[in-house]
Chains A and B, each alone.
Chain A
Amino acid sequence: MHDKILLSHGEGGKRTRDLIAKVIARYFDNPVLSPFLDAGLLGRIEGEIAFTTDGYVVTPPFFPGGDIGRLSVCGTVNDLAVCGAKPVAISCGLILEEGLPMDTLERALAAMRDAAKEAGVTIACGDTKVVERGKGDGIFITTAGVGVSVDGWRPAPSEIRPGDRILLTGTMGDHQVAVLIARQNLAIDAPVLSDVAPLSGLLLPLLPRFAGKVRFMRDPTRGGVGVTLNEMASAANARFVLDEERLPVRESVRGVCEILGFDPLYLANEGKAVLIVAGDAAEAIVAELREHPHGRDAAIIGEVREGGSGVRMRTLSGGVRAVDYPVGDQLPRIC
């Protein structure tokens, strides 16, 4: 096998078949995919189906705590999870740049295999294309995911009412800071690991266990908890009030934020969920989350109040500030 991806690997001929048989098949080895038909046959699926898709273009492809492969599986599994769906199958669309080291591809595939195993999902089908050098950033991955709704649960923003609590399953900003550090152009050294993780095991058991108490869930990826809360408040036409003192943030993430002038509320996460739950179940749900490895730092970060809409926060100083949509990505600032 070559040590780099060539254009011919994407042309559909012998090289493509070799790439699939000798590289991809070694990592993705399951009964649905192995016949390498034009489609993965999933068989009969009982229940309400959820379907999602996402593209992954992160640079660099490997960063502390994760990589593009793991991200591409977890991101899609998590979109299903926050909609109450157990993942059944995902697709894997690869767009590779000519010249990509074969080793990079193999590491990404291994990570996808491991993440899929952890998440209990089958990689059921895929596709590979190769673009000319300069026309793609190394490796792009698109995954689409199919899942089955647990217990008939559906996100219900209209059920959100004053007195409900806002929960976050763990610390903010770990992923974005890990990627930033890996890019190395800010020359900062901090022991931050991306939080990328599959959340089905953390979230889905809550739904039958706390039936009727979980109103709405989302995963705060790009734009962070700040953007996600605004989207949720909008969907619910509700007023959210956060408590700054209760926001979970790791010390090292805070350190990077202080130096660069970032607000952790707007930093991307890849292994966290925001939940709106009934007030009388909030403490019990947090306790349950904390029992799970991906929920150890779960916390109640705010509540839903009467009147108006939007997101506000009670600050450490005892004042109030709005938590609005940011404009674009945060950039390191001196001001």
Chain B
Amino acid sequence: MCLGVPAKILETGDGAAVVELGDVRRGISVMLIDDVSVGEWVIVHAGFAIEKLSEEEAEQTLALFREIAESDEFRES
């Protein structure tokens, strides 16, 4: 019920922004979030940014995944 994708802010202005996912761009509303700046990542749902994505937290989750994958390899060998 909540298809939302991570996209990067390319331009901002007046309650709206242009975001980029790969090389696909769309104009969206940022009325649901505060102070968004170029280069930040947001989650886009139905033409709105519903929240920012924390790159730091994302890195931590990815690090956890790497750990899990490695400990599994270790277990196998």
Contacts and interface: CB of A to CB of B under 8 A. Distances in A.
Chain A–chain B contact at Cβ < 8 A:
yes
Contact of B25 (A188, A251, A254, A335): A188
A259 B23 contact: no
Given A258-B5, A261-B3, A334-B45, A252 B26 contact: no
A59 B27 CA distance: 23
Interface residues of B, number: 14
Contact of A188 (B1, B2, B3, B24): B24
B26 A335 contact: no
Classify the interface of chain A: helix, strand, loop or mixed. Answer: mixed
B44 to A, nearest CB: 7
A310 B74 CA distance: 38
A252 B24 contact: yes
B38 interface: no
Interface string B40-73: 0000111000000000000000000000000000
Nearest to A256: B24
A230 B44 CA distance: 34
Contacts of A261: 3
A189 B21 CA distance: 11
Given A334-B45, A334-B46, A259 B26 contact: yes
A30 B15 CA distance: 58
Given A334-B45, A334-B46, A255 B3 contact: no
B23 A188 contact: no
Nearest to B22: A255
A45 interface: no
A253 B34 CA distance: 30
B26 A189 contact: yes
Contact of B3 (A190, A251, A252, A333): A333
A187 interface: yes
A191 interface: yes
Contacts of B22: 251-252, 254-255
A190 B18 CA distance: 13
A191 B23 contact: yes
Contact of B24 (A190, A333, A335): A190
B1 A255 contact: no
B45 A255 contact: no
Interface in B16-36: 21-27
Interface string A166-201: 000000000000000000000111110000000000
25 contacts: A187-B26, A188-B24, A188-B25, A188-B26, A189-B24, A189-B26, A190-B23, A190-B25, A251-B22, A251-B23, A254-B22, A255-B21, A256-B24, A259-B5, A259-B21, A259-B24, A259-B26, A259-B44, A334-B1, A334-B2, A334-B3, A334-B46, A335-B1, A335-B2, A335-B3
Interface of B: 1-3, 5, 21-27, 44-46
Interface of A: 187-191, 251-252, 254-256, 258-259, 261, 333-335
Given A255-B22, A261-B3, 13 more contacts: A188-B26, A189-B26, A190-B24, A190-B25, A252-B23, A254-B22, A255-B23, A259-B5, A259-B21, A259-B24, A334-B2, A334-B46, A335-B3
Chain A to chain B: the 3 pairs with minimum beta-carbon distance, closest first: A255-B24, A255-B22, A190-B24
